[in-house]
Structure 1
Amino acid sequence: MAMDRKQLAEDGTPHYVSERQKRKMREEPPAIQPPLTPMIDVTFQLLIFFLLACTFRVTEGQIEATLPNISGPQDKPKLKIEPIKVTLSAAGVDGMGVLIEVSGGGSVNDPLELDGVLVQLREQYKSDEVPVLIKPTGDVWWTHVVDAFNQAVRSKFKNIAFTPPGM
């Protein structure tokens, strides 16, 4: 029996082990757990340190301002430009002729002369976006109206329109 309790060490010397120690060695060893109390202590100390060491302030370069209540981009404000009015009325004994009156440019008797007047007005306004309104009276031949339109196009105006009857 004495031999059962004997174990040999690495160097060959016998060591005697009790039954209780043998049972303890046969059981599974307990799981190793790190000590949590010091870790929790350090965590709270770091938390307190960072809360006291940090300064909460507005970042540099930030300008506090209030924006207007306008929603979305606005179109460019359009300037109120007085349109060039070209009035055509019948002339002559039989109504085959035409009298063309241009606002700000005088009057002409031939649609081909209208081109020179309109070019001068375009240079005066310094824009080809000025509206040209052609207003024929009821007794004017349509050839004269079409000629007036063609002269306005030849003068490089882009916004050419006819006035409705009665205006």
Structure 2
Amino acid sequence: MTKKPSARNHFFTPSHTTLTVHPKASMAYKTWLKCRPKTSPIHLADIDKYHKPPIRIISSDKEGYLYFDNFERMADIFLYETDISQPFIIITGNDQQITKMAWVEVLRLCRYQNVDHVSLWQHLRHDCAATTLKQLMGCDSLFNEDYCDFAGINIDRYFYRQRSLKPVKKTFDLAQNTDWTNV
């Protein structure tokens, strides 16, 4: 009996193929979009398709193909290279591994220059499962100090940046029904 290969290499043109983010990676993708620093893209349009980095995707019956990591590369493809053939590796999906790989993409943002660490850490603690975050960061707790150690930033700078943010003020609203004023 021959074993079916778990991955296949294909070339697709994104404008002719349905590519969407995997449902298990959608929260990580939204977090990545909110927290990523605005950088200049590297245009790979003139590089031969055999030399471009391949992107792992999963075949889906309903939605075409699903991607779950390489968010920055996918954003560049959708913006600048939609009509150019791209290398993709079709793999079989494992929801737990897909979720972890998606959050790895978000955690990579802490290595970027000019990232808002306070906002990124707030989003990570709110949107990512604590067990996944602990596994990926290699720590036992999720304190600010743990994030600063992982990100390689100074804890004092983190707290300074945190204090410099303006707190969200609660507004005092009047009751919607003001019939009592016309008595």
Q: Normalization by structure 2: what TM-score?
A: 0.20
Structure number with the bigger relative contact order (C-alpha 8 A, sep ≥ 6) is: 2
Higher share in helix: 2
Structure number with the higher strand fraction is: 1
Structure 1 or 2, whichever has the larger Rg, is: 1
